[in-house]
């Protein structure tokens, strides 16, 4: 799968001007918007929730909203994010009692389902879920904050994931989230990721178009 998508994480945007920030990255060439939901329990940070997803959906009716739940007990909330307007909802399996059921509920609500794998989390979670997933999110940092450094072992994990997906015959998008920059987008893409999330590397720059282009160019000039 080499359909490259760039998904700016709005976590690093100016929340006081969220609609303008979203429109600016979309105008600058963003493919998806990555929406980080944190509950102060599963991760030591609190961000946004259902009302903001609802507002984004109504302000941006055709934009692909990629919602990343970093919350305890996602089972009770995941489908509600689809109802609020998310196109895709990812959650962390360790936080869930019944990941398979939660995947089903996301899809029954009309959304795409993603499984988010932390740096210390095994890929084994995917074995019995891959056929029902639309996306696997591989964290390049520990979840909770933007602006952290990419953990190098993520690349080995991406290559292992690629092999596993081939073995299972599963066709899913592979997303990398955390620490993605123009300097590492080439090796991340070459290792098998096709959806690149970037927060600080885009919103931390004054020219969002140049920032997105730099990541896209780095990724697409590599031989896969
Ligand atoms: C981290 C979030 C990421 C974060 C990425 O917990 O899931 O989406 O915003 O930020 P950068 O690209 O700055 O590492
Ligand atoms: Zn995220």
Residue 28 pLDDT > 60: yes
Q: The domain spanning residue 38 has which CATH number? A: 3.20.20.70
Antiparallel, parallel or unpaired: β 112-117 and 135-139: parallel
pLDDT per position as a tens digit, 111-151: 999 999 999 999 999 999 999 999 999 999 999 999 999 99
Q: DSSP 3-state assignment of 7?
A: strand
Q: Give the contacts of 84 (CB within 8 A, at least 6 positions apart).
A: 50, 53, 54, 57
Q: Determine the average pLDDT of the residues in 95-120.
A: 98
Residue with the bigger pLDDT between 222 and 11: it is 11
In which domain, by residue range, is 42 found?
A: 5-220
Q: Can you name the residues that pair with 39 across neighbouring β-strands?
A: 46
Residue 223 pLDDT > 70: no
Q: Which residue carries 């962390």 as its tokens?
A: 92
Q: Which residues line ligand 1 at a C-beta cut-off of 6 Å?
A: 9, 11-12, 34, 36, 68, 70, 141, 143-148, 177-180, 197-201
Ligand nearest to the CA of 144: 1
222 alpha-carbon distance from chain centroid: 22
Antiparallel, parallel or unpaired: β 195-198 and 173-177: parallel
173 alpha-carbon distance from chain centroid: 10
Q: Determine the average pLDDT of the residues in 147-158.
A: 98
Which residues are designated catalytic?
A: 36, 177
Q: Which atom of ligand 1 is nearest to the CA of 181?
A: 12
Domain total of the chain: 1
Query: Ligand 1: which of 33, 116, 148, 151 to mutate, judged by most atoms within 8 Å of the beta carbon?
Result: 148
pLDDT of residue 222: 79
Residue 1 pLDDT > 60: no
Nearest CA among 98, 95, 101, 97 for reference residue 68: 95
């Amino acid at each position: 799968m080499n359909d490259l998508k760039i998904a700016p994480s709005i976590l690093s945007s100016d929340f006081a001007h969220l609609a303008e920030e979203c429109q600016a990255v979309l105008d600058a060439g963003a493919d998806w918007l990555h929406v980080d939901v944190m509950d102060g329990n599963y991760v030591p940070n609190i961000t946004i929730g259902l009302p903001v997803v609802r507002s984004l959906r109504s302000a941006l009716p055709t934009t692909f909203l990629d919602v990343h739940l970093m919350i305890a007990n996602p089972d009770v909330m995941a489908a509600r994010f689809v109802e609020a307007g998310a196109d895709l909802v990812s959650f962390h399996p360790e936080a869930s009692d019944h990941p398979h059921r939660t995947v089903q509920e996301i899809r029954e609500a009309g959304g795409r389902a993603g499984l988010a794998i932390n740096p210390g989390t095994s890929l084994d979670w995917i074995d019995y879920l891959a056929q029902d997933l639309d996306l696997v999110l591989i964290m390049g940092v520990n979840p909770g904050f933007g602006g952290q450094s990419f953990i190098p072992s993520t690349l080995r994990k991406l290559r292992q994931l690629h092999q596993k997906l081939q073995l299972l015959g599963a066709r899913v998008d592979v997303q990398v989230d955390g620490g993605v920059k123009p300097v590492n987008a080439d090796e991340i893409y070459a290792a098998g990721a096709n959806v690149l999330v970037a927060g600080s590397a885009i919103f931390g720059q004054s020219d969002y178009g140049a920032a997105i282009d730099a990541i896209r160019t780095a990724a697409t000039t590599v031989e896969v």
